[in-house]
């Protein structure tokens, strides 16, 4: 099992550019989520999905889109990057409600 | 408004001694609490959890204590080892009628350094 994988590991964008952060899991988990980690803020939930075709907003969803067309993949899209989106992004998955969440290694994003 | 707070940004202890990491919360609807450990350049990994129906949960060297009246939880590591040096996040979740998916609210993290 590869667990939760994220690509790329590091990305530099210019303001206004778009990109997609990839997340995949091979554990057949229904629940997947995206968090961002900023200094002094802990991890904050951006979007989550309780299954293929179902997504919902978390605490800080503005500027991000998600979709869940398969159980395995949960990409996070930045349509027009802003410097405020400079952060480390973590994807997580879990088998079910209140089950342990497994995190990917993170994507470090710098928006200039 | 920070619903989960870890007021100590860092903690330094000697190998073999006890490490105590603290966490306070304000949302009385939280009923499930977790601790995650994070090494640099890696994602957080689950360490231990506790439900609000308990006041203590133990797993090897790690024990989590929950004081619901004080809205406070703590993680005890005994004995501490240099490999425990990492950032520790506490997190909380509310059931919200079973629809919350267990969405986690994290504290800011505490950097633990265990000196040999």
pLDDT of residue B102: 61
d(CA B109, CA A3): 24
d(CA B115, CA B112): 10
Mean pLDDT score of chain A: 93
CB contacts of B101 in chain A (<8 Å) are 31, 48, 50, 56, 97
In this model, does residue A75 exceed pLDDT 90? yes
CB contact under 8 A, B43 and A90: yes
In chain A, what percentage of residues exceed pLDDT 90?
A: 84
In chain A, what percentage of residues exceed pLDDT 70?
A: 98
Give the mean pLDDT of A75-102.
91
CB contact under 8 A, A42 and B46: no
CB contact under 8 A, A100 and B49: yes
CB contact under 8 A, A4 and B107: no
In this model, does residue A1 exceed pLDDT 90? no
Q: What residues in chain A have their Cβ under 8 A from chain B's Cβ atoms?
A: 4, 31, 33, 35, 40-45, 48, 50, 56, 58-59, 90, 92, 94, 97-106
pLDDT of residue A101: 87
DSSP β-bridge partners for residue A54: A51
Q: Token pair of A108, please?
A: 């470090």
CB contacts of B86 in chain A (<8 Å) are none
Nearest residue in B to A5, CA atom: B43
In this model, does residue A70 exceed pLDDT 90? yes
- What would the pLDDT profile of A33-69 be if each residue is shown by its tens digit? 999 999 888 899 999 998 999 999 998 999 999 999 9
pLDDT classification of A98: cutoffs 50, 70, 90: low
- What would the pLDDT profile of B64-105 be if each residue is shown by its tens digit? 999 999 999 999 999 999 999 999 999 998 865 555 566 789
Check if the beta carbon of residue B2 is closer than 8 Å to that of residue B104: no
HEC profile for B20-51?
EEEEEECCCCEEEEEEEEECCCCCCEEEEEEE
- What would the pLDDT profile of B22-72 be if each residue is shown by its tens digit? 999 999 989 889 999 999 989 999 999 998 899 999 999 999 999 999 999
CB contact under 8 A, A48 and B32: no
CB contact under 8 A, A90 and B32: no
pLDDT of residue A105: 96
In this model, does residue B114 exceed pLDDT 70? yes
CB contacts of A43 in chain B (<8 Å) are 44, 89, 91, 104, 106
pLDDT of residue A99: 72
Check if the beta carbon of residue A91 is closer than 8 Å to that of residue A33: yes
């Amino acid at each position: 099992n590869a667990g939760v994988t994220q690509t790329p590991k590091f990305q530099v964008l210019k303001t206004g550019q778009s990109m997609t952060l990839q997340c995949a899991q091979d554990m057949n988990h229904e629940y997947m989520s995206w968090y961002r980690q900023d200094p002094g803020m802990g991890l904050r939930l951006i979007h989550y999905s309780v299954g293929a075709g179902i997504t919902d907003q978390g605490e800080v969803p503005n500027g991000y889109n998600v979709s869940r067309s398969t159980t395995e993949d949960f990409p996070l899209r930045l349509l027009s990057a802003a410097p405020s989106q400079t952060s480390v992004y973590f994807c997580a998955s879990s088998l079910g409600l209140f089950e342990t969440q497994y995190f990917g290694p993170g994507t470090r994003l710098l928006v200039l | 408004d920070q619903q989960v707070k870890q007021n100590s940004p860092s903690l330094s202890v000697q190998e073999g001694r006890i490490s105590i990491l603290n966490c306070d919360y304000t949302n009385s609807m939280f009923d499930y609490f977790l601790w995650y450990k994070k090494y640099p350049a890696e994602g957080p990994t689950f360490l231990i959890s506790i439900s609000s129906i308990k006041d203590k949960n133990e797993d090897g060297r790690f024990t989590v204590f929950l004081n619901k009246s004080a809205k406070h939880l703590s993680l005890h590591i005994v004995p501490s080892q240099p490999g425990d040096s990492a950032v520790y996040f506490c997190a909380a979740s509310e059931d919200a009628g079973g629809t919350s998916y267990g969405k986690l609210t994290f504290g800011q993290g505490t950097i633990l350094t265990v000196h040999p």
